[in-house]
Amino acid sequence: MATGRHRYRFVDGEPRDGLKCSKCHLVLCDPQQATCCAKRFCKSCLDQMEDKRCPSCREPINCFRDGGINREIMGLKVYCTNSEEGCEWQGTINETDDTSIDTHLNTCPYQLVPCTNGCGEKIRRNSLKTHLTDNCLERMVNCQYCNQRGRYQLITSSSHFDECPDLPIQCSNEGCNMIPRRHSQSLHNETCPKAIIPCAYNTVGCNKVMKREEQEKHNEDSITAHLQLTKKQLGKL
């Protein structure tokens, strides 16, 4: 039993001092009474003492369990420790009772519980469902582009986007507004009107480079030049 376990808000106001530990000043947890000075201490507070002397009068300590006080404490009415979150439960701290706060906290909708997906977060029991479907970083999702299934954290990470075959990527050719999927990027580039290409007559010696869409106009403008280059080339044969 841990020290300070009885850190509760009491329905009928602060319990009387006689129900509190003379060491930790919280409501006694498994109360022990010292024979030296009749002060009471939690069992856990005594267990933590190293010198085995009474914390109150410094005599070598000798204690007996105070069953009467314990019964009184077990009967104290407490609010749920999640009352500030909205839980309206009231009950006792009687550990052996079904109506005790320990039993209640196992089902209290406001109790913080670890995510059952193992993401490491603690969530109020009543929002666990939403967390698992909408927020958990470890929930299973499909990539919105390639539909690959995996943990949210991975599927939305840059390492997936770096290899996602269907990720839309803006064409890098200046002036092109197309956003082809990654897998069709090179296909697009072969027809992209804004791609920089060498003149179709480069094989006969035209050194002009231009956007693909300008080829036609260039051909019209360069009929003579292209013809001469072609003749020259033929002459070499």
Residues that bind Zn ion (CB under 5 A): 21, 23-24, 34, 36-37, 42, 45, 54, 56-57, 80, 82, 87, 89, 108, 115, 117, 119, 121, 136, 143, 145-146, 164, 171, 173, 176, 178, 192, 199, 201, 206, 208
Considering the complex, state which of residue 8 and residue 89 has its C-beta at the smaller distance from Zn ion.
89
Considering the complex, state which of residue 2 and residue 237 has its C-beta at the smaller distance from Zn ion.
2
In the complex, what is the shortest distance from the CB of residue 157 to Zn ion, in angstroms, rounded to a whole number? Answer: 11
Q: Are 132 and 139 in contact (CB under 8 A)?
A: yes
Considering the complex, state which of residue 56 and residue 100 has its C-beta at the smaller distance from Zn ion.
56
Picking from 29, 24, 23, the residue whose alpha carbon sits closest to that of residue 5 is 29
**CA–CA–CA angle 76, 81, 84 (5° rounding):** 120
What is the rounded distance in angstroms from the CA atom of residue 148 to the CA atom of residue 130?
A: 23
In the complex, what is the shortest distance from the CB of residue 81 to Zn ion, in angstroms, rounded to a whole number? Answer: 7
Considering the complex, state which of residue 36 and residue 154 has its C-beta at the smaller distance from Zn ion.
36
Backbone angles phi, psi at 91, to 5 degrees: -170, -155
Considering the complex, state which of residue 68 and residue 127 has its C-beta at the smaller distance from Zn ion.
127
Backbone angles phi, psi at 127, to 5 degrees: -115, 10
In the complex, what is the shortest distance from the CB of residue 201 to Zn ion, in angstroms, rounded to a whole number? Answer: 4
In the complex, what is the shortest distance from the CB of residue 141 to Zn ion, in angstroms, rounded to a whole number? Answer: 11
Say which residues have a Cβ less than 8 Å from residue 147's Cβ, sequence separation at least 6.
166
Considering the complex, state which of residue 49 and residue 57 has its C-beta at the smaller distance from Zn ion.
57
What's the longest Cα–Cα distance across the chain? Answer: 124
In the complex, what is the shortest distance from the CB of residue 12 to Zn ion, in angstroms, rounded to a whole number? Answer: 18
**Residue that the structure tokens 């954290």 belong to:** 153
In the complex, what is the shortest distance from the CB of residue 52 to Zn ion, in angstroms, rounded to a whole number? Answer: 12
**Residue that the structure tokens 């007559």 belong to:** 201
Number of DSSP helices (H) and strands (E) in the chain, helices first:
9, 11
